[in-house]
A and B are shown apart, each in its own frame.
Chain A
Amino acid sequence: MNHNKIKGIGASPGIEIGEIFFIKKNNISIIKKKSSNKPIDEINRLKKSISILEKKILSLKKNLKNKISKENLSIYDSNIEILKDPDLIEKTTHLIKSKNYSAEYSYKYCSEEYAKVINEIDDEYLSARAKDIKEISNELIEILLGKSSVDINFSSPKIIVSENISTNEIASIKSKYIKGIVTAEGGSTDHVSIISKALEIPAVVGLKSEIKKLKNNDKLILNGQEGEVIYNPTQKQLKEYKIKKNILKEKFKNAIKKNKETAKTISGELIKVYANIGSLNDAKKALKYGADGIGLFRTEFCFLNRQNFPSENEQLKLYTKILNVLPKKEFIIRLSDFGSDKKVDYIDLPYEQNPAMGYRGLRLGFKYYDKLLKPQLRALIRLSLNYNIKILCPMISDIDDIKEIKKALINESDDLKLNKTSQIPLGIMIETPNVAMNAEEFIDHVDFFSFGTNDLSQFLMAADRTNENVAKYHEKAIPSIMKLIENVCNISQKKGKWVGICGEIASKKELLKMFIKIGVNELSMSPTMIPEIKESIRKIKL
């Protein structure tokens, strides 16, 4: 262990070498408890300051709009929600009125009460929210006191070091000037870690009191990989880390380039590595992480937060937007799979004792044909004229369901009277034991199979996939599932058809070799898993 190394928690990867910009926080213990103003004036002052901070947070959010995802941006909405919480404001104004306390003392007191109660609940997520409450309270008090927190204006890139830093503070500094972030407090799941990762700023948090050893303007090596910093580095250390930093940069560049290349084993077998998606954002991730195609487009995910099921034209527009992210790739689009654990207001589902085995997937599609299946089939037929798509049917257990969907496709196709028509390849999910065990019966009616192993293991093990008490049984289904996959691959190969897997086991590294051996053609998984899985495949020798 080197004498000048401090261990913390790696919150965002990367190595940086730079000068420290130490942000010293104002000591806000100088708050006066009693106010000399009338309570009504204090309350007005509070309300005005809340509105100033709200505007500030909104403008910070706007600055980051094109830099981070919508999901991460919502952190700033949650900050505003804390700031304007009705109970927090009510309790604060009550304290001002009843005790004639100052606005800053009252807000601080009430928000600390909340932070304390929430922090005491044994939950990592809530502890992080308690931290957000304190940060927002501090920022509001600074506004009330008329003090800007600290001067964080600087014009060359620095490594920011501070006891704690808020998501608002990060957003208020131009990110090109932040080389890295080092804090005394914090953990890897709090909002600061999420934002620094999203902005690709290396960060080490949780240095605790050791942070006192770091001084403004001193040189620092920040190692986000190992979660440590080196202060006053020696010439030797500087040289060593410059090399490490360059290697990492090169590795990163190569990894991105390599992600997009196909995954071929040492012995020459090629397997398609596709992405599971359910939104435009997912499609962008699929592109970034180098998906060879889309193995499962869960269309129902686009329609969960709506009042009604979208029309044919609306769907066509939405799919086009998503397909245009990867316009040259193959898309396997699954017909909407509502029911079971995916309920929406616009479909009246009857009460069912076992919804996972009830009206769901295509069963529901047929029941509400005009409302659900018809507009979707028509949108997909029109889409197929310009894009490389395949249709995947969910929840099939009976051959008649396939016959019926084929008939519907022909009918809608005829009805659309398109000049150009294309036969869209049609496949089915294998998620019921009946299809898995008797693929011979289905093979002549389909162009491909895709294993949905999550549902399949639920039915094989008679273990509800949403019930945590029986979660351990799913792991045990793997040997049976592998046998079934092997059987289906054998049958498919004889007929020149292909087999994919889009369930969770597709990204299990220890099974990759087996998948390739038995002739699986395509694996589809969460986009972020793709680079790792492709790397593993490239090392396989059969």
Chain B
Amino acid sequence: MKTIKIQINDKIGFHARTASIFSKNASKFKSVINIEFKGKKVNGKSMLSIMSLGVKTGDSVILSCEGEDEEISINHLKNLINNNFNS
């Protein structure tokens, strides 16, 4: 399993449009992808679950990927967040 802690810098935070972009990207991978915030862990492939975390700009989340493509998926998703969701 690959895990990283990452800060959300996009100015609208990790909800709304960004949750949709993230879940769409996460769904491309076979790995189980989770996002953990304030002790709550959710499926990164679900837009609704990501929105329910209420992550705001500047908050940090723990991203984890587990499965055959965990290496590629975590790098791709990390870059996505670091590029403020401009894939």
Contacts and interface: CB of A to CB of B under 8 A. Distances in A.
Contact of A305 (B48, B49, B87): B87
Contacts of A78: 20
A82 B47 contact: yes
A305 to B, nearest CB: 7
Contacts of B57: 468
Query: Which of the listed residues B15, B27, B46 has the most CB atoms from chain A within 10 Å of its own CB?
Result: B46
B54 interface: yes
A85 B46 contact: yes
Contacts of A133: 48
A123 interface: yes
Given A114-B52, A304-B86, A88 B46 contact: yes
B47 A81 contact: yes
A468 B57 CA distance: 10
A87 B49 contact: yes
A81 B15 contact: no
Nearest to B58: A468
Contacts of B42: 87
A88 B52 CA distance: 12
A125 B20 contact: no
A341 B11 CA distance: 12
A304 B84 CA distance: 12
B38 to A, nearest CB: 12
Contact of B51 (A86, A129, A341, A468): A129
B43 A343 contact: no
A126 B87 contact: no
Interface string A307-346: 0000000000000000000000000000000000101110
Contacts of A126: 15-16, 51, 54
Nearest to B42: A87
A121 interface: yes
Given A125-B15, A126-B15, A118 B48 contact: yes
Contact of B52 (A118, A305, A345, A466): A118
Contacts of A305: 86-87
A430 to B, nearest CB: 26
A304 B79 CA distance: 14
Contacts of A343: 83, 86
A86 B46 contact: yes
Query: Which of the listed residues B48, B52, B57, B83 has the most CB atoms from chain A within 10 Å of its own CB?
Result: B48
Given A304-B86, A305-B87, A343-B83, A85 B48 contact: yes
B48 A87 contact: yes
B45 A86 contact: yes
Interface in B48-87: 48-49, 51-52, 54, 57, 79, 83-84, 86-87
A133 B47 CA distance: 12
Contacts of B12: 125
Given A126-B51, A305-B87, A343-B83, A81 B43 contact: no
Contacts of A468: 57
A81 B86 contact: no
Query: Which of the listed residues A81, A87, A125, A468 has the most CB atoms from chain B within 10 Å of its own CB?
Result: A87
A40 interface: no
A117 interface: yes
B82 to A, nearest CB: 8
Contacts of A344: 86
A125 B52 contact: no
A85 B19 CA distance: 12
Contacts of B16: 125-126, 129
B48 A114 contact: yes
Interface in A334-382: 341, 343-345
Interface in A466-482: 466, 468
Contact of B20 (A81, A114, A345): A81
Contacts of B45: 86-87
A117 B52 contact: yes
Given A117-B52, A123-B15, A126-B15, A86 B86 contact: no
4 nearest CB pairs, A to B: A87-B46, A121-B54, A117-B52, A85-B48
29 contacts: A78-B20, A81-B20, A81-B47, A82-B47, A86-B27, A86-B43, A86-B45, A86-B46, A87-B42, A87-B43, A87-B48, A114-B48, A117-B52, A118-B51, A118-B52, A121-B15, A121-B52, A125-B12, A126-B15, A126-B51, A129-B51, A133-B48, A304-B86, A305-B87, A341-B84, A343-B83, A344-B86, A345-B79, A466-B11
Given A85-B47, A87-B46, A126-B16, 12 more contacts: A81-B23, A87-B42, A88-B46, A114-B48, A114-B52, A118-B51, A129-B16, A129-B51, A304-B86, A343-B86, A345-B79, A345-B83
